[in-house]
Structure 1
Amino acid sequence: MIVLEFKLKGYKHQLQAIDNAVRTVQFIRNKCIRLWMDSKGVGKKDIYAYTTTLRKEFKYVEALNSTACQQAGERAWSSIAKFYDNCKKKVKGKKGYPKFKKNVRSVEYKQSGWKLSENRKRITFTDKNGIGTLTLKGGWDLNFYPIDQIKRVKIVRRADGYYAQFSINVDVRKYVKQLEPTQECVGIDVGLKYFYADSKGNTVDIPQYYRQAEKQLNRANRKKSKKFRRGQKQSNNYLKARDRYARKHLRVSRQRKGFVQTEALRVIQSNDLVAYEDLKVKNMVRSKLAKTINDASWSAFRSWLEYFGWKYGKVTVAVPPQNTSQNCSNCGKKVNKSLSTRTHKCSHCGYEVDRDINAAINILQLGLRTVGHTGTYAWGVLPSWAVGESLLSNGEVLNQESSRL
């Protein structure tokens, strides 16, 4: 499954119609959550049946395509099912009790409610919501794919406009030339001093896109806050300031994504086996270093490593992170050191090297030991690319790289 994204161009009333459709999806989802809260024994079939009931009760719900209404119900049930799953697994802390959404930003159609033009450069939404025909702006060629391979079309609202995402059922590996074996393997240790250090002694600096833009973001946020009027209808100046602030955040997000994509692809192209730590980033960001860790994008980097590894037929191995920084990569003895100690000096064998490079060598050694069991991915969690291969239960897809075929 791949996702091709295009920017949508249309008139103001068409964009307002998209906003109305998004609000309708939010309304349906929240009503389904309310039904589950108020009634005992509500299941998946009851949620789907309730979306049909809402179409009969409200005209603006009926105006939205039926598959889009079903998908809104799928979103509600997905959050409920996740809550049940966490309870069964006895997850520590909060279990993710379903909440009402206040800012839904997308509406998703299945295989009805839309129609592509003959040249595949325009799309027409055929429901009664009034979106009409919109122009698709992008470098991908939809003529390459039969219509029946397009499983879903999602309209996403972002700070800089509206986008259409086409979920296409195709195995991209069939159309990609496999890379020649390099006879190389590498271990990678991500950190806050370097973006990552590898077992070969190479390091890559953290670009710190958020840190660089933080002053501009704070200034834009202050300007937005000055125009906010509590309990009153917000002025156009406030809405413009809010959009400027959101666009700056979007730019930082895209910079970060582009960087991790480039680095992950470079690592995969240069090596046949890549080993990395199976870090629990969600737990790590609860510390004082949360802002710096998020800016480093460790989770996104791992996701792209796994995806490119799957795409190009390379082996990626996640290993447990325990003591990878403490153990000596030369003799295997444990050498305790604090976070402020940046150089590994072994008191047993005298080996001296940068702390992160020592950890990367240990990670590679662990990866080579477990290479025959790479399917487990250290803790038995599915790799990111395996999730992206099929649509999730709520109809959402991972926005993975879409190859230009």
Structure 2
Amino acid sequence: MIALEFKLKGKAQQYRVIDEMIRTAQFVRNKALRYWIDNQGVKLVDLYKQCALMAKEFEWAGKLNSMARQASAERAIFAIQRFFVNCQAKKPGKKGYPQFKKHTRSVEYKTSGWKLSTNKRGITFTDGFAAGTFKLIGSRDLHFYSPNEIKRVRVIRRADGYYAQLCINVERIEESIPTGKAIGIDVGLNHFYTDSSGETVPNPRSLRKSEKALKRLQKRVSRKKKGSSNRKKAINKLGRKHLKVSRQRKDFAIKTALCAVKSSDFLAYEDLQVRNMVKNHKLAKSISDAAWYQFAQWLQYLGKVYGKTVIAVAPQYTSQDCSACGNTVKKTLSTRTHICSCGAVLDRDHNAARNILAKGLRLAAITLNTVGHTEINAWGQNDLYSLVVTSTSKSTD
């Protein structure tokens, strides 16, 4: 499944109709959640039936396509399922009890309620709201996909306009040239990441660079009268700036992950619990700005697309243990150089990256039933790596 995003170009009246569609989808989702609260144990089929009853009870709710109402009910059931999964897993802290939505920004259609134009450069919404035809602005060509392959159309409102995401039921597979290289990746704040060969990628610090402009725009919002049109304009400018920062962060995460995946056949990275790390209020902003979790997600996704082995390893003691001899060398966060009694002198992050690679290779060896080869020296892991790659290629043939 891939998602292609296009910007919707239409008239102001059409955008107001989309806002009504989004509000209706929010209403259906909240009503479905209320029905579950009042009737514990209901299933998705029961919520589908409630969607049909809502269409009869509320005329304006009936304007929304029937499958779009079902998709809104699915959002409620997904939130309920996530809550129960967190409870069963005994997740620490709040378990995410489903909440009523107040500021929904999207509405989702399935296979009906919309239609692509003949040249596939426009989309028409055909349900009761009759939003009309919008031009699709984007660089992707939809002629490669048949309409039957498009399983969902999601309309999203953002600070800079309205977008349509088309979810297409195709599998993305990219060809890649084997490099015979294995790397371990240690993420950080000084450098975005340091790999096991000593190469570093600078931290872009997108939020920090835009912080001055964000503060200025936030002041403008605070000075405007509540409810005034000038305040709405100021809020929109602030939202556009935040949107730009988030796009910069996402773009950097994708491009960096793509370079790492293409340049190596085996990648090991830290499985960090970012949610717990941001509880440190002194580092929370910098950690969030680095977007480690987003980078890890793209590593996993691109690894599958390009057929590379990507493994997440536990981060415990990767900075404290010596990658040369295995001895533990205690360090504080301010200590940036690893100095061991065996004579190894390395940058702290470089040492951690070597340990991460060793852990990843060890885990891969165990997975491939090569328990006899789990003794690894992080300074020379080529023999074991060749065994891992060979076993992986045989298992996929």
TM over 0.5: yes
Paired with 2:13 and 2:286, the residues of 1 have a C-alpha distance of 42
Paired with 1:367 and 1:125, the residues of 2 have a C-alpha distance of 49
Q: Does 1:28 align with 2:22?
A: no
Q: Does 1:134 align with 2:134?
A: yes
TM-score (norm 2): 0.90
Q: What is residue 194 of structure 1 aligned with on the other side?
A: 191
2:325 to 328, 331, 347: 331
Q: Does 1:321 align with 2:321?
A: no
Query: Percent same amino acid at aligned positions?
Result: 53
Q: Which has the higher contact order (CA 8 A, sep 6+)?
A: 1
4+ aligned runs moved over 3 Å, structure 1: 372-375
Number of positions where the alignment pairs a residue of Structure 1 with one of Structure 2: 367
In the alignment, residue 113 of structure 1 is paired with which amino acid?
G
Paired with 1:373 and 1:279, the residues of 2 have a C-alpha distance of 22
In the alignment, residue 356 of structure 2 is paired with which amino acid?
I
Shift of 1:236: 1.1
Please report the RMSD computed on the Cα atoms of aligned residues, expressed in angstroms: 1.2
Equivalent runs, 1:3-18 vs 2, <5 Å: 3-18=3-18
Paired with 1:111 and 1:46, the residues of 2 have a C-alpha distance of 21
Q: What is residue 394 of structure 1 aligned with on the other side?
A: none
Paired with 1:16 and 1:228, the residues of 2 have a C-alpha distance of 24
Paired with 2:286 and 2:138, the residues of 1 have a C-alpha distance of 33
Paired with 2:204 and 2:244, the residues of 1 have a C-alpha distance of 14
Shift of 1:228: 4.0
Contact 1:6–1:163 (8 Å) recurs in 2: yes
2:271 to 275, 278, 287: 278
Q: Does 1:236 align with 2:197?
A: no
SS in structure 2 of the partner of residue 4 of structure 1? strand
In the alignment, residue 271 of structure 1 is paired with which amino acid?
S
Q: What is residue 291 of structure 1 aligned with on the other side?
A: 285
SS in structure 2 of the partner of residue 370 of structure 1? helix
SS in structure 1 of the partner of residue 236 of structure 2? helix
TM-score (norm 1): 0.89
1:370 to 359, 363, 376: 363
Paired with 2:366 and 2:317, the residues of 1 have a C-alpha distance of 21
In the alignment, residue 61 of structure 2 is paired with which amino acid?
V
After TM superposition, the structure 1 stretch with the greater mean CA deviation from structure 2, 6-15 or 80-89, is 80-89
Paired with 2:353 and 2:254, the residues of 1 have a C-alpha distance of 20
In the alignment, residue 213 of structure 2 is paired with which amino acid?
Q
Q: What is residue 387 of structure 1 aligned with on the other side?
A: none
Q: What is residue 84 of structure 2 aligned with on the other side?
A: 84
Paired with 2:260 and 2:163, the residues of 1 have a C-alpha distance of 30
Paired with 1:36 and 1:123, the residues of 2 have a C-alpha distance of 35
Shift of 1:287: 1.1
In the alignment, residue 210 of structure 1 is paired with which amino acid?
L
SS in structure 1 of the partner of residue 279 of structure 2? coil
Q: What is residue 207 of structure 1 aligned with on the other side?
A: 204
Equivalent runs, 1:250-261 vs 2, <5 Å: 250-261=243-254
In the alignment, residue 246 of structure 2 is paired with which amino acid?
S
Contact 1:187–1:275 (8 Å) recurs in 2: yes
Paired with 2:41 and 2:120, the residues of 1 have a C-alpha distance of 45
Shift of 1:91: 1.9
Q: What is residue 311 of structure 1 aligned with on the other side?
A: 305
Contact 1:268–1:274 (8 Å) recurs in 2: yes
Contact 1:25–1:107 (8 Å) recurs in 2: yes
Contact 1:305–1:316 (8 Å) recurs in 2: yes
In the alignment, residue 295 of structure 2 is paired with which amino acid?
F
Paired with 1:73 and 1:261, the residues of 2 have a C-alpha distance of 32
Q: Does 1:353 align with 2:350?
A: no
Give deviations 1:272-312, integer Å, cap 9, x for gaps. 11111111111111112111001001011111111111111
Paired with 1:39 and 1:112, the residues of 2 have a C-alpha distance of 30
Give deviations 1:186-207, integer Å, cap 9, x for gaps. 1110011110011111111111
Contact 1:125–1:133 (8 Å) recurs in 2: yes
After TM superposition, the structure 1 stretch with the greater mean CA deviation from structure 2, 241-250 or 138-147, is 138-147
Shift of 1:374: 6.2
Paired with 2:269 and 2:82, the residues of 1 have a C-alpha distance of 28
2:335 to 338, 341, 346: 341
Give deviations 1:81-128, integer Å, cap 9, x for gaps. 111222222222211111011110101110000111110011111001
In the alignment, residue 321 of structure 1 is paired with which amino acid?
P
Q: Does 1:95 align with 2:95?
A: yes
2:219 to 218, 222, 230: 222
In the alignment, residue 320 of structure 1 is paired with which amino acid?
A
Paired with 1:179 and 1:373, the residues of 2 have a C-alpha distance of 26
Give deviations 1:361-391, integer Å, cap 9, x for gaps. 000111111114569xxxxxxxxxxxxxxxx
Distance 1:373 1:216, change over 3 A: farther
Contact 1:185–1:274 (8 Å) recurs in 2: yes
Q: What is residue 395 of structure 1 aligned with on the other side?
A: none
Q: Does 1:144 align with 2:144?
A: yes
After TM superposition, the structure 1 stretch with the greater mean CA deviation from structure 2, 309-318 or 240-249, is 309-318
Contact 1:195–1:206 (8 Å) recurs in 2: yes
Q: What is residue 382 of structure 1 aligned with on the other side?
A: none
SS in structure 2 of the partner of residue 124 of structure 1? strand
SS in structure 2 of the partner of residue 107 of structure 1? strand
In the alignment, residue 305 of structure 2 is paired with which amino acid?
K
SS in structure 1 of the partner of residue 317 of structure 2? coil
